[in-house]
Chain A
């Protein structure tokens, strides 16, 4: 195998491809689309973050503006958690449009994360959204197929292949050279997109909004690079094994349809079919039932709380709860919150496990489908995937729990034990400085180490696919026929 020959094939491929007028038309359209996508992505990122930031501030202001009052009123006043729009979401929208961004945090209950883009959209949202990631994942492979399908098959059809091989070039040199030529052309598409994104990220001032933003960015870039290698080799191999350019094109289009439209959709649909999500009511009533069994703090005759009361009274050696050194009603609520939160978490975890099982079908399918692999890598590292969303939900719920318990403890400590129940009025109140002393919710982005853990199987699959593609290239070079 001679390097000179490989270079010759690569250069020749490049020259042939860039000689066509259609090539420039295609290139122009792609760059325009990429420009549109990035402008949209950046603007959307800025608008969304401004909206969420503004409302986080507004919600906080009205929290702090509360006068002196009973702390339990504050745990019902509650607060909002707004999910930040991650910086790389302007590149890959991922699940962004389908995940809610606002959650109301209050005592006693876990509310749903509301106001996703999808709830305010017509059914046409399911056609997808134009992002840079969509262009790289869906459109660029198609362009590579269009440019690369005749590479070997046309040479075979018009007889050039015979001449080349008889003049001393080897199949291996030919296939490697053409693959490299095609890869170079795909880079011609890929590099401007990435440069554009780099500039946007540098000029934008929210690098701190992600954990290890640049590492994520570089890994995403490398992921796409590997992906383009796989697609280029695949194209050349298919072209080399097809009898005519037309057959090569049809096969490649079939691959595109199967791997980019049908398989991903079927994988997720099957996951949903095999592991059905319970209805909201079934989910909630299962929790409600267990809460009642373990102890319902809202039921005055509940045995768990009767027992608790007796033991607390005995421990403090008093007859009435009003004689205790702390506010008993706050104590009961703290206990109630503890029980119901633990139960909620248990059930919620089970629910999330169902979701994970559904998604695992897609995750596993990345081992047979490199297109799914890059999609998962890109989305996970861009923080627009399922795990990032769950991370937000968990952090918001932790904060909610803290809020409720802090208020219950304030009640135990500062509200007179004589005030057995009720939180109305201006008598049993605490100072409003307690409100601002309780930290606001701030959405901490998901840790890089967590993202990489989730993305690992998909990254591994990309690596394996690269090896498979290379081995396949070598095998093809041994078996290929000139005629």
Chain B
């Protein structure tokens, strides 16, 4: 025990250590504030939607009570992706993907990818959230604290003394590193605690998984440091090598993978779908009405009883046309979905091999801010849209007025995702990466 206290004293003796620990804590607190602000804005947006929906529907009813078809042409219904408080820690894709969808019962495909108001400069520079601090800055701190653990002994000439006196040289190095590890993990836990209270995060398994993953990530960097320093090269060389590893892992490899994925899987299907859904609907204005309605009944046989009105403009025909925007672009849409999933899978597969990319993906997933969750939300929005359609179609086709419907039931609906955390799956790759590096170090350990 006494030796550990001595190690700790030796470690925190230097001014640089204090400064860097203080710096990362301050940056962590700034990041938590930024994340919290993000959450507050999202909550505000949700509150605005709740308020808006009521006045919006009331206004439409007042204007178009006699014409339900026209009323539903204008009326927007809100579907909200419920916010996970962890999103403040890992903002992920929620800055580019909207968390609120306001949709009409017209062609869904035309509304699916409408974006929020975003400043592309903000997106490009990325969010300074806690996940950034953990992923980019903690490894640097690991490097700063550990690069000279062995070399400072050899450079000051005390290594010989240690070699004679210590029971095990390996244990000596590992205990020195352990002290530094405990120091960093304390800062990490402190930041997570601050985040918990600032953002009101409940103690869920997701939150704990996040902390565990962050700790594993720090272990990985210590393992890497360990591997480098036991080669007993000079301090300068160690620092250079570890920083190069940081540069390669955090900047070059991810950048290379990203360029590769966007080049390998461009998404022309998105543009094709956009054109197909437009043509699917609009061209029907000039084609045979009976054929359009017949096609509509093929999709929804339950409505066939409403017959084939072809004289002039009528809402049955109009909504059948709108439906065709979705139905006729099905092929393109499915190709698009397939391509997006393919992109995601490829980038996930490649990322699993790079700890920092992996942890970013899992952080996003735990916070509900990943791309796959956004896609699930969009799929759920499609179901919500379908539900609205099926609810309103008969009333419109029967030519009823708006007052037969109980409009109070149309408050914004929330999408809730239930994804259990698989602990083993979450942490295993990170532990394997650390183990792998440790195994690589074994030959050197023998030569210590």
Q: Which of A's residues lie within 8 Å of B, judged by CB?
A: 33, 36-37, 40, 43-44, 47-48, 51-52, 54-55, 58-59, 62, 66-67, 69, 73, 76-78, 80, 82, 94-95, 97-100, 102, 104, 111-131, 134, 138-139, 142, 146, 245-246, 249-250, 253, 257, 261-262, 264-269, 271-273, 276-283, 285, 298-299, 351, 354-355, 358-359, 362, 386, 389, 422, 424-425
Residue B390 CB within 8 A of the other chain: no
Chain B 259-276: CB-based contact to A (< 8 A → 1; otherwise 0): 111110011101110110
Q: Which of B239-276 contact A (CB under 8 A)?
A: 239-240, 243, 247, 250-252, 254-263, 266-268, 270-272, 274-275
**Interface of B, helix, strand, loop or mixed by DSSP:** helix
Whether A55 contacts B271 by the Cβ 8 Å rule is yes
Tell me whether A281 and B357 are in contact in the complex, defined as CB-CB below 8 angstroms, given that A67-B286, A118-B96, A261-B136 are known contacts.
Answer: no
CA of A99 to CA of B118, assembled, Å: 9
Whether A130 contacts B357 by the Cβ 8 Å rule is no
Whether A146 contacts B278 by the Cβ 8 Å rule is no
CA of A118 to CA of B113, assembled, Å: 12
Given A102-B274, A126-B360, A272-B122, 13 extra CB contacts under 8 A: A80-B278, A104-B274, A112-B115, A114-B270, A123-B364, A123-B369, A130-B256, A267-B125, A269-B128, A277-B117, A279-B41, A386-B120, A424-B285
Tell me whether A130 and B125 are in contact in the complex, defined as CB-CB below 8 angstroms, given that A115-B270, A122-B348, A279-B117 are known contacts.
Answer: no
**Cross-chain pair count, CB within 8 angstroms:** 252
Whether B255 contacts A127 by the Cβ 8 Å rule is yes
Whether A138 contacts B251 by the Cβ 8 Å rule is yes
CA of A380 to CA of B231, assembled, Å: 46
Whether B45 contacts A279 by the Cβ 8 Å rule is yes
Tell me whether A48 and B236 are in contact in the complex, defined as CB-CB below 8 angstroms, given that A69-B286, A123-B369 are known contacts.
Answer: no
Q: Which residue of B74, B100, B240, B339 has the most chain A CB atoms within 10 A of its CB atom?
A: B240
Whether A280 contacts B259 by the Cβ 8 Å rule is no
B residues in contact with A146, CB < 8 Å = 240
Residue B386 CB within 8 A of the other chain: no
Least CB distance from A73 to B in Å reads 6
Tell me whether A249 and B110 are in contact in the complex, defined as CB-CB below 8 angstroms, given that A124-B258, A268-B121 are known contacts.
Answer: no
Whether B121 contacts A358 by the Cβ 8 Å rule is yes
Least CB distance from B15 to A in Å reads 13
Residue B420 CB within 8 A of the other chain: no
> Which residue of chain B has the shortest Cβ distance to A146 in the bound complex?
B240
Residue of A33, A58, A76 touching B252 (CB-CB under 8 A): A33
Residue B403 CB within 8 A of the other chain: no
Residue of A116, A128, A250, A266 touching B255 (CB-CB under 8 A): A128
> Which residue of chain A has the shortest Cβ distance to B346 in the bound complex?
A122
Q: Which of B's residues lie within 8 Å of A, judged by CB?
A: 27, 30, 33-34, 37, 41, 44-45, 48-49, 52, 63, 74, 90, 92-93, 96-98, 100, 102, 110, 113-128, 132, 136, 140, 235-236, 239-240, 243, 247, 250-252, 254-263, 266-268, 270-272, 274-275, 278-279, 282-283, 285-286, 312-313, 339-340, 343-344, 347-348, 351, 356-357, 360-361, 364, 369-372
Whether A127 contacts B357 by the Cβ 8 Å rule is yes
CA of A128 to CA of B360, assembled, Å: 13
Tell me whether A120 and B270 are in contact in the complex, defined as CB-CB below 8 angstroms, given that A138-B251, A265-B125, A359-B119 are known contacts.
Answer: yes
Residue of B41, B52, B282 touching A276 (CB-CB under 8 A): B41
Least CB distance from A226 to B in Å reads 23
Tell me whether A98 and B93 are in contact in the complex, defined as CB-CB below 8 angstroms, given that A113-B115, A114-B114, A119-B115 are known contacts.
Answer: no
